[in-house]
Each structure stands twice: as structure tokens, then as C-alpha cells.
Structure 1
């Protein structure tokens, strides 16, 4: 699920110490082209959530290091933010931390004619994600077949 790109390999050694010294968690890192612009997006979190000062501190420190080391050839826009209430689950530890929470799963290819599922996260074991749907039925997904997993937003 979580593939590491060449850009990630260049950025992570610069970013991880900045995140660690602020007692934050790196949730996700994206380097994507949207329209004419490239974006380097860093999603951070901590217990109780991040605030604007956390995002600003990481942004300023990372920007200074990136300007010095210049690991990315093309021009880009740096964005540092919270993962939001529909936080993606990417790392194995995320699946343990959010066990029992309602999640949304999107598949690359449909299973029984369906590409999106929602249910209570039972866990991740040996590359298999298990959920319990509203009818208390356990459904399993091979992690390699899953396009994305997010905490569900339920109002």
C-alpha cells in the first residue's frame, strides 16, 4: 500500500529529524503534480492533534533545509498540515492504534461488485485487513488490493 518514491527517499532523511525533535508523527508524504504545479505535502499529527504553530514550525524548518540541500529538481509548493478527521491509515501501527474504529476502504478492483467498504477495523495481520460490517459480518482484504484506508467520518 505505502510505496516509497525516489522523492520520498530524498526527503525523509531531511524531514524525519525535524518531525522527531518536535515530538510529532509523520502521517504521510506526497509529491504530486496538480495542473501546472508540483506540491510537496507533509501531513503531521500528535496526540490531541496538531495546531497551526506545529505546522508552521515544521514548514519553516523543512523549507530552510530543503533550500540548503536542494534535493528536488523542479519547482514545487510546500504544504504542511494535519491529516484531517478522515486520516489515512498507512503504517502497520496505524491499524493497531485505530483498531475498533470505523474505517472506509477503497479497492483497486471491485470485490463482489463493490469497490468501497465501511466497517469496524478488526486489525491487520499478515497483509490482510479485517473489518466487521454493520451486519456483523467479517470481511477481509489483501492489503496489496487496497487503494486506500481512511478513518470514516460519521455525522
Structure 2
């Protein structure tokens, strides 16, 4: 049995989703796991559950056994969560992270199809992932730089226009969540009162 099959069967058998399997120099085998996503019911919010150290430990133990039985040679095994810049590997991931800020790289530059608003040789974009009206996906972004912390922004200043790029899954070379760190806590949390 191939490495990918052994790892996928083991990870999914433990109730997790396999995001990536990577072999590196020096015999490092890196496995990235996540919590399986299920479409929320209409009117319900998606449940938030994250990969814990205990989850990684359980997968590591089971993988060590499965890889030994499958005679897969490796020096070191590393099991981890995808992190804040999670790669989007399947089209289902786009639906899962709709509304999030993503970085994407196209397989081919835009060419003249962009209508002159975007450089014709541009392949990398960062924007908000949305479902396109006619089907497919789009990202929306502004090329205006974000104001620095503490910087005053004048009221008369016009903001740069929003730009939209439609794309299909097969046009992507790579897509991942954009790493956004907020040190002020999660948005929408209300302080508890006793």
C-alpha cells in the first residue's frame, strides 16, 4: 500500500481530515490534519473545534504503528494542525472558508482579460473569498494600503475601488488562508458578567 493511502486511511479512521502529507530531506515525514468540516444546517452557525496536542499525539501513535506494518521508511514523524495559513487543497475547502481572507496564485497570468485595472502578468492576489453570481468563485480586494496603527485618515480621502476577480478551481496553482493575527481577541465576543 502506498504512503498516501496508509496515512489517509489512518487519519480518517481516527475521525480527522488529512490536509497534506509531505516528505522532506533527512527522512522527515510531515502530516497535517484538521477537523472534518460539515455543512452547517440552514440558520445554524458552524461549530468551532480545533486540532489539539492530544489529537496530534493520538494520530502520531496510530501512524507509527500503521507505517511500521506498511514498511514505510522514515526517520521522524511530525503531525500538526494546518495553522493560520492553512492550504486549501480541495474545492470543498473554498466553500468551508467562504468569506475569509485568502491568498491565491493562478496557474497563468491574467493577460488582457483584466481590462487594464490589474497588471496583465499578475498571478498572485489577496482578497475576500466569495461565491460568484454565475457560479464559480471570486475574490474581492482593494489595492489601497491599510492605514498604519495610529495613522489619521482624512474624511475627504477617497478609498481605492474594490476589484473583483472570478476564477474556477482548475485555474488555481495554490490557495491558502491569509494569516491574519488579531491580538485583541475574537471578534464578536462579549464580556461575561457575573
Equivalences, count: 141
Partner of 1:27: 19
Q: Secondary structure at the match of 1:62?
A: helix
TM alignment of 1:3-152, pairs within 5 A: 10-31=2-23, 33-34=24-25, 37-46=26-35, 47-70=48-71, 72=72, 74-111=73-110, 112-123=120-131, 129-134=137-142, 135-152=161-178
Q: TM-score if structure 1 supplies the norm length?
A: 0.76
Secondary structure, counterpart of 1:43 in structure 2: strand
RMSD: 2.6
Q: CA deviation at 1:58?
A: 0.5
Q: How far apart are 1:132 and its partner, in Å?
A: 1.5
Q: CA deviation at 1:51?
A: 0.9
Counterparts of 1:52 and 1:26 in 2: how far apart (Å)? Answer: 16
Closer, same or farther: CA 76–106 of 1 in aligned 2, 3 Å: farther
Instruction: Tell which structure's C-alpha radius of gyration is larger.
Output: 2
Q: Deviations over 1:23-43 (max 9, x none)?
A: 211122222x33xx1332111
Does structure 1 conserve the Cα–Cα contact (< 8 Å) formed by 2:29 and 2:74? Answer: no
For residues 119-143 of structure 1, give each alpha carbon's deviation from its aligned partner in whole angstroms, at most 9, with x where no partner exists. 111248xxx6421123432203454
TM superposition outliers: structure 1 runs of 4+ over 6 Å: none
Cα distance change, pair 52–133 in 1 and its aligned pair in 2 (3 A): same
Report how far residue 48 of structure 1 moved.
Answer: 1.6
- When structure 1 is superposed on structure 2, of 45-54 and 110-119 the one drifting more is 110-119
Using the size of structure 2 for normalisation, the TM-score is 0.62
- The structure richer in helix per residue is 1
> Unaligned stretches of 5+ in structure 2?
36-47, 111-119, 143-160, 182-194
